[in-house]
Amino acid sequence: MSAQGDLLRTVTKVSAALHTAGIRFALTGGCAVYARGGPETEHDVDVLVKLSDVDDAVRALVAQGMRAAPPPEDWLTKVYDGDRLVDLLFRPNERPVTDEVLDRSEVMRVGPATMPVQSATDVMIGKLLALGTHRGDLNEPMQSARALREQIDWSRVAVETAESPYAEAFLLLAGRLGVSPRLIRIPDDRPRDTEDIEDTEDREELA
């Protein structure tokens, strides 16, 4: 079986185990991008769960033959399906996973199964908030942005990532490349794209 096939087998196994255990979750990361029409990925399987469900999620996956591997980080935990790593994220980028976050996911087909997949907007927000001093490569999130561009609420991305200079630089580049609208800042600090500004100016001229 190919690496992509192995990955989808693990994704299906994780989804079935969590669904059977009644645990809310959403697929995120590269697998979510793939589910939404992006490129194939051979990276780890990333799954969002609430902190209150983490222990039950680990038990459900271990019951299916996976191996728990608690990490030193305090925002996720890990299990292995053979050599395939599954990250259970409950506080990515210092933002807790809540019912509201999971409510924004959509049930989609991923390989042979259907499961909740994080919204494209939330996926992009997560990727941009992960950028930093030791993770400054813009190529991977740009590939995701190109693939999901029509599914993303870019204004919300700009609002949710306004604290990050790395995200600001990414959005500037994405706008210049035509991947996203060319967002600009107006006095009330809400991001607007240039078409919105031009429409407003046109209406003012007509008045």
Q: Which domains does the chain have, with CATH numbers?
A: 1-118 (3.30.460.40), 119-207 (no CATH)
CA dist 81 and 26 (Å) reads: 18
pLDDT at 39: 87
The one-letter code for the residue type at 114 is T
Residue 60: predicted pLDDT:
98
For 75-100, write each residue's pLDDT tens digit.
999 999 999 999 999 999 999 999 99
Which pLDDT score, from 0 to 100, does residue 2 have?
Answer: 72
User: pLDDT value at position 167?
Assistant: 95
Cβ atoms 84, 6 nearer than 8 A: yes
Q: How far apart are CA 89 and CA 16, in angstroms?
A: 18
Residues near 148 by Cβ (< 8 Å), separated by ≥ 6?
33, 36, 37, 38, 120, 123, 124
Question: What pLDDT is recorded for position 43?
Answer: 76
pTM for this one?
A: 0.85
- Please give the pLDDT value at position 206: 41
pLDDT for the residue 49: 98
In this prediction, the residues of the chain whose per-residue pLDDT falls under 50 are: 186-187, 197, 200-207
CA distances from 112 to 13, 21, 86, 109, 193 (A): 11, 20, 18, 7, 39
User: Which pLDDT does position 205 carry in this prediction?
Assistant: 46
**Whole-number pLDDT of residue 131:** 95
pLDDT of residue 196: 55
